[in-house]
Amino acid sequence: MLMRRNYGFTLLEVMISIAILGVIMTLIWASTGQSLRAKDRTEARDMSFHMGRVSLRKITDDVVVAFLSKKQKTSSSSGIDASGGASTSGIKTFFIGEDQSGQDNLRFTSLSHMRYFSGAKESDQCKIAYEIVPDKEDSNILNLVRREDPWLDNTTEVKGKPLVLVRDVREFNLEYYNGRKNEWVKNWDTEKIDWKARLPDAVKITLVFPDPDDEEGEYEIILTTSIMLALSSGPIGS
């Protein structure tokens, strides 16, 4: 009776198979890794655009209703203002934009405050500030933050808790349109005589972010918008 012999793989065949399988797995891993990195960069880029658009929209909502009031705090203790009239309401309204070479800041009074609780002793008037500050975890990263005080007083300081609108901002640039001279300027301060009781006719905002899709860091994402101020014609109030 003849018996059939069982043949297996030789050691050389097994080693060649393992080598081929290793090459195939390496190619698959490299391709998958490259696709995942591209996906992460695309998502990070989309997030930069999204956060930039959201921030510009929020700044627009605040700045478009910036206002100045004819009622201003005076330093007189007699109850008489500088023009000889009755004492005012004890509030200061202002619009102060300072050029800081790509890290500009802006403080102003606005009618954009929202009351979140019924019966809150608040109005739509508020003080708002936008500024660039170093990140708490990494000082090499700059963040755009927003502050808000829901009440007006006799100072131009805005002490509200900072809210980070955008993380990792390279530049925050502001320009102000002076309709009387038909020119854009980099500073505006209603505390000074040149801009006393005057808002700019428009504000141009530019945000610059690093491009997550550029590993060399040479390219940037630039978002810009211009805002017409609704109350730029003059102070409100009697």
What are the tens digits of pLDDT across the range 74-91?
444 434 344 333 334 578
- Is residue 36, in this structure, part of any structural domain at all? no
- Is residue 174, in this structure, part of any structural domain at all? yes
Higher-pLDDT residue of 218 and 95 is: 95
For 35-67, give the secondary structure using H, E and C: HHHHHHHHHHHHHHHHHHHHHHHHHHHHHCCEC
- Is residue 70, in this structure, part of any structural domain at all? yes
- Is residue 2, in this structure, part of any structural domain at all? no
- Is residue 31, in this structure, part of any structural domain at all? no
- Is residue 54, in this structure, part of any structural domain at all? yes
Q: pLDDT value at position 43?
A: 78
- Is residue 18, in this structure, part of any structural domain at all? no
The pTM for the full model equals 0.76
Q: What is the mean pLDDT of residues 172-186?
A: 95
The count of structural domains within the chain is 1
Residues 62, 126: Cα–Cα separation, whole Å: 10
72 close to 78: Cβ distance less than 8 angstroms: no
Residues 184, 204: Cα–Cα separation, whole Å: 9
pLDDT higher than 80, residue 13: no
Higher-pLDDT residue of 13 and 140 is: 140
Residue 87, amino acid:
S
Q: Which domain holds residue 216?
A: 43-75+86-228
Q: Give 18-76 pLDDT, tens digit per residue.
A: 888 888 888 888 777 777 777 777 777 788 888 889 999 999 999 999 999 986 654 44
165 close to 175: Cβ distance less than 8 angstroms: no
- By the 10 Å C-beta count (0-12 exposed, 13-18 middle, 19+ buried), 97 is classed as buried
- Is residue 99, in this structure, part of any structural domain at all? yes
- 166 contacts: CB under 8 Å, gap ≥ 6: 51, 52, 55, 143, 144, 207, 209
Q: What is the mean pLDDT of residues 120-142?
A: 91
